[in-house]
Amino acid sequence: MAHNKITLNNRVDMPAIGLGVFQTPPDATTAAVEEALDRGYRHIDTAAAYLNEREVGEGIRRSGVAREDVFIETKVWISDYGYGATLHAFDKSAGKLGVDQLDLLILHQPLPSRFDLTLDAYRALEQLLFDGRVRAIGVSNFMPEHIDRLLNETSVVPAVNQIELHPYFQQTAVQKVNAEHGILTQAWSPIGGITSYRDAERRTFDDPTLLEIASAHSKSAAQVMLRWHLQQGRSVIPKSTKPARIAENFDVFDFELTTEQLAVIDALDTGVRGGPEPDSITLEAYGREIPEA
């Protein structure tokens, strides 16, 4: 039975399920975080670029759960890449969150056209780790070639690579490279939220195969997808602002998918990415100023 604890490659423990807050409006973020912590979540995934770190910090403080019992993960946006800029990005995020130390700080995207800046940003994360300002460091949306290059030119193996991963887009090649290096794969859009943002026709939530498995366990499609990740050793960060769904997405520790059911879900992969191609991310197209704390 999968449980809510994953040990990262530097021996730091991380709750496997975190609450995601991408597209959660700032004025709904504090309540969502409080609700999640009340329901038993102990991990929140935010990002400088989501512009709601301040409200995440407020939700944690209001919840009454001790700071050391909550795992806070955030991301440096590409506009803050570079050694000095990324050290300062830590100050901005920690300041908004109202904490001295972050549990996990990751690079939000590779910048393939400016990989020099990406490497300098990662070297700043290494320094923050060395100085005890962060407990673990990692990356997001890194493809195998980005990981290879990072590993060749820096010292600390990332603890996490957070990538788009749901039944319709499984990135098995990236998962394999992550596993070879001891990098934990963390699934963003773990229940396929991104499949419903643009194409309402192909929502994971309505998938007949997932619904059939769900019905066999008296669970929802979302719960089946989360279980599929957990049983395959991945971390998940489902997002919701709705109390009932926040609770539902955490209520996944009382059933187990069979090996056959896991394989049936593996077979749903379409190979079609929902998010942007990592190689299309440039400062010109995606740069935006991240406000000071």
Q: Which residues inside 35-54 make contact with ligand NDP, applying CB under 6 A?
A: 45
Binding mask 97-116 for ligand NDP (x = CB under 6 A): -----------x--------
Alpha-carbon separation of residue 195 from 166, 167, 293 (angstroms): 9, 10, 33
Window of 84-92, 172-180, 192-200, 262-270 that interacts with ligand NDP by CB under 6 A: 192-200
Least separation in angstroms between CB 258 and ligand NDP: 22
Whole-Å CA distances, 258 to 165, 216, 263: 20, 11, 9
Query: Hey, what are 288's tokens?
Result: 């935006």
Nearer to ligand NDP, 55 or 248 (CB): 248
Q: Is-catalytic flag, 50?
A: yes
Least distance (Å) from ligand NDP to the CB of residue 242? 4
Least Å distance between CB 110 and ligand NDP? 11
Closest CA to 146 of 168, 169, 163, 130: 163
What is the rounded distance in angstroms from the CA atom of residue 49 to the CA atom of residue 71? 19
**Binding window for ligand NDP (CB under 6 A); candidates: 58-66, 114-122, 169-177, 190-198:** 190-198
Q: Where are the beta strands (DSSP E) in the chain?
A: 6-7, 13-14, 19-20, 43-45, 71-76, 104-107, 137-140, 160-164, 184-188, 235-236
Which amino acid, 213? I
Query: Residues binding ligand NDP: what is the number (CB under 6 A)?
Result: 28
- Site residues (CB under 6 A) for ligand NDP, limited to 196-255: 205, 220, 222, 237-242, 245, 248-249
Residue 169 near ligand NDP by CB under 6 A: no
Does residue number 154 form part of the binding site for ligand NDP (CB under 6 A)? no
Neighbours of 78 (CB within 10 A): 24
Strands 71-76 and 43-45: parallel
Contact status: 171 vs ligand NDP (CB under 6 A): no
CA distance 23 to 191: 15
Binding-site ranges for ligand NDP (CB under 6 A)? 20-22, 45, 108, 140-141, 162, 188-194, 205, 220, 222, 237-242, 245, 248-249, 275
Catalytic residues: 50
